[in-house]
Amino acid sequence: MSALNVATRSIPSRRSPAQHDHTLGGSLQLMGASMTFGRNEEIYGEGEPAEYLYKVVSGAVRTSKLLSDGRRQIGAFHLPGNVFGLEAGSEHRFSAEAIADSVVLVVKRSAIEALAARDSEIARELWTLIAQHLERAHDHLMLLGRKNAQERLAAFLLEMAERNYVGNAVELPMSRQDMADYLGLTIETVSRTLTQLEAAHAIELPTSRRIVLRNRAALNALNA
Amino acid sequence: MSALNVATRSIPSRRSPAQHDHTLGGSLQLMGASMTFGRNEEIYGEGEPAEYLYKVVSGAVRTSKLLSDGRRQIGAFHLPGNVFGLEAGSEHRFSAEAIADSVVLVVKRSAIEALAARDSEIARELWTLIAQHLERAHDHLMLLGRKNAQERLAAFLLEMAERNYVGNAVELPMSRQDMADYLGLTIETVSRTLTQLEAAHAIELPTSRRIVLRNRAALNALNA
DNA sequence: CGACGACTTGACGTGTTTCAAACGAGGTGG
DNA sequence: CCACCTCGTTTGAAACACGTCAAGTCGTCG
């Protein structure tokens, strides 16, 4: 389902930003409509025209690609504050789905581009944004290339802690299957490896979605 | 060794582009000095200030990261015409080395940025460039996540064929070790898998650096 | 309370890594 | 011109980490 279709039955709403707010964040709020997506609902599909830009307000989003035989690779997780859907070409190269019930700010790409053409500050922010995506992709590459399951989980947990930290605990919005598809592992290996890390006193698992980092040094060592 | 150091003993030379050439390619030639690097010579190191932008004239370059225990991940290969060294922050996040003897055009980043600030066409080209890097990184992600050795090699060969094709043969500028570090495999697995693909009549290996794509359909099927 | 989905655990199979040796092409010196 | 060395590549055998298939547990919701 495309963003346009979804828009027909979502609840648009506007915030009240300061006038003449010449930042990307401010502009997005000024021009965007907020939409809600249910768990596992598609925000846009691979190959669809990339007419909109998105910013996560609450919840979480994954961008992923499906292979012909059902294997799935998750390219990135997007948490509150993150922008996604930014593309070079005219089409989305990944699909985007809500991981949990989410509120997302939606802005027309043409509007942002028009803004960037006139305001170099906005253009600079857009540059920073895509450069951040590239950095994330590079980090993700490092994670997938010849690292074992423990090293992948350690890197993942440290990344989530950095982006999503509340004290020493990480609140995971995604399922084990999502983690597996992000890390290039199976759900069983993810589960077993978490159990190993807990046995090694590197982490604690009060619930399956909450992970306490008990020994960051040990995790960092795995992340070498 | 940093680009600056290398510059002291390289042979700067200028081409003669048309005057008022308002394209990035033209500007790079106008403002850049060409430098030569020997096989395995470092062009810049991880963590060094990113003061320059580079364009491969001839030869080939790899950008890579080293892990503490010696494992290496290659982030990308850069062939003639490709630009590399473009960074979001002030430091290079990967190191760059020449794979073979190479000639590289070197341009001051500040000069390019000044140009882009005045000329929106240049700015747009820079945007396209970094977006291409992001696309490549995404393709690379798909390659590394839960694909077996045959699928990785098939994807790699098709990518190289697309970027570097001469008829149906691919002339590889890089060693088996470089391929392994790009694909997240060991050198032995790369070698064995190529032998398997040859036995399956998907490719031919006249020499170790030259690969003839004999059955693209079979390779594409692996790339599903 | 019962049913469903998500997660964990177990036993076994397999593809890739590891360690080791052999091979081949290119270059140098006799 | 051939012997010899070197470096990259290929091949072999064994070990191991992860995948697969299957059963069991836990938490949630109706």
- The residues with which B71 forms a beta bridge, in sequence order, are none
User: Which residues lie closer than 8 Å to B2 by C-beta, 6 or more apart?
Assistant: B44, B45, B48
- State residue B66 phi and psi, 5-degree precision: -105, 135
Residue B107 has pLDDT above 50, yes or no: yes
Residue A43 has pLDDT above 80, yes or no: yes
- Give B21's pLDDT tier (boundaries 50, 70, 90): low
Over the stretch A178-208, which tens digit does the pLDDT of each residue have?
999 999 999 999 999 999 999 999 999 999 9
Residues A117, A86 contacting (CB under 8 angstroms): no
* Strands A203-207 and A165-166, bridge-based pairing: unpaired
Q: Residue A5: its pLDDT value, please?
A: 39
Q: Residue B105: its pLDDT value, please?
A: 97
Measured distance CA(B205)–CA(B111) in Å, rounded? 45
Q: Residue A165: its pLDDT value, please?
A: 74
Query: What would the mean pLDDT of B91-115 be, rounded to a whole number?
Result: 96
Q: Residue B13: its pLDDT value, please?
A: 45
Q: Do B88 and A140 touch (CB under 8 A)?
A: no
Please, how many CA atoms are within 13 Å of residue B113, restricted to the half-sphere of its CB?
15
Measured distance CA(A132)–CA(A109) in Å, rounded? 19
- Give A166's pLDDT tier (boundaries 50, 70, 90): confident
- State residue B18 phi and psi, 5-degree precision: -60, 150
Distance A2 CA to D29 C1' (A): 31
Measured distance CA(A72)–CA(A185) in Å, rounded? 11
Q: Do A141 and B73 touch (CB under 8 A)?
A: yes
CA A78 to chain centroid: 2
Give the nucleotide with minimal C1' distance to the Cα of B186: C17
Query: What would the mean pLDDT of B50-77 be, rounded to a whole number?
Result: 96
Residue A12 has pLDDT above 90, yes or no: no
Measured distance CA(A177)–CA(A186) in Å, rounded? 7
Query: What would the mean pLDDT of A79-96 be, rounded to a whole number?
Result: 95
Residue B5 has pLDDT above 60, yes or no: no
Give the nucleotide with minimal C1' distance to the Cα of A192: C8
| Mean pLDDT lowest among B104-113, B160-169, B182-191 | B160-169
H or E element in which residue B54 lies: strand B52-58
Q: Residue A13: its pLDDT value, please?
A: 44
For every residue of chain A, DSSP letters joined together read --HHHHHTTS------PPTT--SHHHHHHHH-EEEEE-TT-EEE-TTSB--EEEEEEES-EEEEEE-TTS-EEEEEEE-TT-EE---SSSB-SSEEEESSSEEEEEEEHHHHHHHHHH-HHHHHHHHHHHHHHHHHHHHHHHHHSS--HHHHHHHHHHHHHHHHEETTEEE--S-HHHHHHHHTS-HHHHHHHHHHHHHTTSEEEEETTEEEES-HHHHHHHT-
Residue B16 has pLDDT above 70, yes or no: no
Residue B10 has pLDDT above 70, yes or no: no
Protein contacts on strand C: list nucleotides below 7 Å from a Cβ: 6-11, 15-20, 25-26
Query: What would the mean pLDDT of B141-155 be, rounded to a whole number?
Result: 97
Report the 10 Å Cβ neighbour count for A11. 9
Whole-number Cα distances in Å, A222 to A162, A164, A179, B46 = 16, 20, 18, 20
Q: Do A123 and B128 touch (CB under 8 A)?
A: no
User: Which residues lie closer than 8 Å to A66 by C-beta, 6 or more apart?
Assistant: A46, A72, A95
Query: What would the mean pLDDT of A54-63 be, rounded to a whole number?
Result: 97
Residue B154 has pLDDT above 90, yes or no: yes
Query: What would the mean pLDDT of A85-104 be, rounded to a whole number?
Result: 96
> Which class for A20: exposed (0-12), middle (13-18), buried (19 or more C-beta within 10 A)?
exposed
Q: Residue B9: its pLDDT value, please?
A: 39
Q: Give the A-side interface with B, CB within 8 Å.
A: 65, 67-69, 71, 73, 75, 87-89, 93-94, 117, 120, 123, 127-128, 130-135, 137-138, 140-142, 144-146, 181, 184-185, 224
- Mean pLDDT of chain B, nearest integer: 89
Q: Residue B173: its pLDDT value, please?
A: 97
% of chain A residues with pLDDT over 70:
89
Residue A8 has pLDDT above 90, yes or no: no
Residue B153 has pLDDT above 80, yes or no: yes
Q: For B187-202, what is the HEC assignment?
A: HHHHHHHHHHHHHCCC
Residue A41 has pLDDT above 60, yes or no: yes
